[in-house]
Chain A
Amino acid sequence: MTPAPALSLRDLTVSYQETPVLWDVTLDLPTGCNIAIIGPNGAGKSSLLKAAMGFIPAAVGEARFFGEPLDRVRARVAYVPQRSEVDWDYPISVEETVMLGRYGGLRWWQRPGAADREEVARALEKVGMSDFARRQISQLSGGQQQRVFLARALAQGADLYLLDEPFAGVDMATERAIVALFNAIRARGGTVIAVHHDLSTVADYFDHVALINQRLIAAGPTETVYTLDNLRHTYGGRLGLLTDIGRRVTEAGLNDEALPPPPGNAA
């Protein structure tokens, strides 16, 4: 029997003030993969994650994690919001922020113990932020803030990581560190689902993609699904960009058959 998908959506429809942002999405995302959710601005990528997590109500449909309702497997699911969604002037240190990841396993009267502190130290080390443990979070760069968020998710010890634009506004070193982390998660059987913006790196960073633009365009392994045709469907008429990215994908030696040579590229 194949294992239950890490995340499966059934007929998910989400609307903001009567305007639908996501239509009837049915989708199974497998475990043990690094999965990118891509699509243009306003395509409903973040809404998809938020509706799956129950932060915003779904008009119709449901989300299951590992075949179960979220409430039964919360400990296995970590969510990393967009960096811009919290107040970085909040009076808290790096260490304390990462510790927040441990609170899912604690009742309200319980306080973190030695084992929790150990997990926090390990998570900080994995993202290379051990030296910053006592810093106040406003003193961090964008990339460091993103690492702290990742450490908080790691400290939770989850199997599935949902990330909303983890690469937004981070430096190259952090981007590489995040990719390495994703690969480490996959290597131990974990799953990463990330909203992603940079089309040129999709094929390098992710082995699965889901293309959405208010509805699901395509989902599956990168080499079969990440095609110019699908991108054209997803991004509509913005062909200039698509040609450019298509050429880059071809140049990188990816899916030679899947991608027809873009027009005007005689070589």
Chain B
Amino acid sequence: MSAWDALFAFWRLDDPNVLWVTLGMALLGASSGLIGTFAVLEKRALLGDVLAHAALPGVTMAFFLFHTREPLVILLGAAAAGLLAWGLIDLLTRRARLRQDSALAIVLSLFFALGILQLTWLQRQPLANQAGLDKFLFGQAASLTDADLYLLGTVALGLILLTALLFDRLRLILFDRQHALALGVPVRRYELLLAAMLVCAVVIGLQLAGVVLMAALLLTPAATARLLSDRLRPMLFIAMTLGVLAGVTGANVSYLAPRMPTGPWMVVALSLFFIAALLLAPQRGLLPRALRQRSLRRRVEEENILRTLFKLHEETSVDTLWSQDDIRHHRPLGAARLNRILQRLHREGMLDGTPERMRLSAAGLKRATTLTRGHRLWETYLENRLGLSPERAHFAAEAAEHVLDEATCATIERELGRPSTDPHGRPIPERPDAAEAPSR
């Protein structure tokens, strides 16, 4: 069977076992994404990583004590170690006043080292079924038994439901702890509950992602979601969806290549989503931001040329034709660059004439008038209200003219009592009306 056939067989989902595995993984991914988002908002993103690493000695110790791989026993062992680690961090930061990052680093390495020591030792022992323990390092979905899946799926579902119930309270506490305290909310109790939920989410994800990479399953969906939304509810849905996708990726991998560790695959998949969001997210993405910057820069360039032409026309008449050199005399600019800007203005119908000899078109004149009006009103306002010198005011208005809208201009005009000239003594144009286009 080729890989493609296998993939196809997987997605037909007619093997009930495949269906269950996929569903279980999807739930696991969703709960990790969900709880991870709250951890990030609590500014405790790294806590998940520590708890995951700290769970390893819990797993090995549970196996050592009870000689069983019964999922509940292993899970409880991992959870106990996680809670112990959490308590230790709490103690170190609150009582010993250690910095949070130092406490996290110390606890992570200590617990992980103990786990590795015991794991290496256990692997040399002539014990039955210890072989699967090392799967906890990088995760192997294929090693999940039906009993595992049942337990993990139930816990994941429980976590999701609990979060839905407590959504309002968690949002309240994580935004402003003191405000929540002032309202009489038992903040500490919720914080403990959230820590316990984080431990649960980590522990059930271990067999899927492994202790080393579990943090990615918690944090990468949250970071991606933050790029795509600035509201908590949509963020949670995005993070959950990404977690589901990661879970299904894991299920896929375990079906196609049962011996392959699933953790790295899911992390790669999640990271791809993160990179895509980083580049393309509408508001925060790098690419849209660069495009917006570029279009703003172009607009400013064009408007500056329109203003220069307006001033040239003002010196003579609106019918005079001007050359590129005339423009560059007033506004120093590379010839090639000016040429590109003029071509754009021509295309937009702002100019009449040829690229060599030109004047403002009716539309261009209207826009230039609006810009000049804003510029001069702002200059006048700054001189009047802040006592800026005409030179300083001019400099400030060079930037402001591109962002002033008509409403602001009207306000300034009202406040200053409809001034007719700017600080340089030049006339402030009236608002150009669409009805009566300036006459030539």
State the CA gap A74–B183 with chains docked (Å): 6
Q: In this complex, what residue of A is CB-closest to B181? A: A55
Q: Which of B97, B175, B178, B179 interacts with A92 by CB under 8 Å? A: B175
- Tell yes or no: B230 within 8 A of A by CB: yes
Q: Which of B97, B165, B182, B232 interacts with A79 by CB under 8 Å? A: B182
> B182 and A53: CB pair below 8 A?
yes
- Tell yes or no: A173 within 8 A of B by CB: no
Which B residues lie within 8 Å of A55 (CB)?
178, 181-182
Q: Quick one: which of B41, B168, B181, B185 has the most chain A CB within 10 A?
A: B168
> B41 and A90: CB pair below 8 A?
yes
Number of interface residues of A (CB under 8 A): 31
B39-51: CB near A (< 8 Å → 1, else 0) gives 0010100000000
> B165 and A91: CB pair below 8 A?
no
> B181 and A53: CB pair below 8 A?
yes
> A91 and B184: CB pair below 8 A?
no
> A93 and B231: CB pair below 8 A?
yes
Residues of B contacting A: mostly: helix
Number of interface residues of B (CB under 8 A): 25
State the CA gap A108–B235 with chains docked (Å): 22
Residues of A contacting B: mostly: mixed
Q: In this complex, what residue of A is CB-closest to B231? A: A91
Q: Quick check: which of A36-44, A97-105, A209-217, A254-262 contacts chain B, the rest being far away? A: A97-105
A40-68: CB near B (< 8 Å → 1, else 0) gives 00000000001001110000000000000
> B231 and A79: CB pair below 8 A?
no
> B182 and A78: CB pair below 8 A?
yes
Which A residues lie within 8 Å of B181 (CB)?
53-55
> B168 and A108: CB pair below 8 A?
yes
- Tell yes or no: B166 within 8 A of A by CB: yes
> B185 and A103: CB pair below 8 A?
yes
Which A residues lie within 8 Å of B88 (CB)?
none
Give the distance to chain A from B226, nearest Cβ to Cβ, in Å. Answer: 7
Interface residues of A in 73-98 (CB under 8 A from B): 74, 77-79, 81, 85-87, 90-93, 96-97
Known contacts being A81-B176, A91-B226, is A74 close to B182, with CB within 8 Å? yes
Nearest 7 CB-CB pairs, A to B?
Answer: A104-B183, A79-B182, A136-B230, A74-B184, A91-B232, A86-B176, A81-B178
A selection of 29 A-B contacts at a CB cut-off of 8 Å is: A53-B178, A53-B181, A53-B182, A54-B181, A55-B178, A71-B184, A74-B182, A77-B182, A81-B179, A85-B176, A86-B175, A86-B176, A91-B229, A91-B232, A92-B175, A92-B231, A96-B171, A96-B231, A97-B175, A100-B172, A100-B176, A100-B179, A103-B169, A104-B183, A108-B166, A111-B168, A136-B230, A136-B231, A152-B179
| Chain B interfacial positions (CB closer than 8 Å to A) | 41, 43, 97, 165-166, 168-169, 171-172, 174-176, 178-179, 181-185, 226, 229-232, 235
Known pairs A71-B184, A91-B231, A104-B182; list 14 more (Cβ under 8 Å). A53-B182, A55-B182, A81-B176, A85-B178, A86-B176, A87-B175, A90-B174, A91-B230, A93-B231, A96-B171, A100-B179, A104-B183, A108-B168, A152-B179
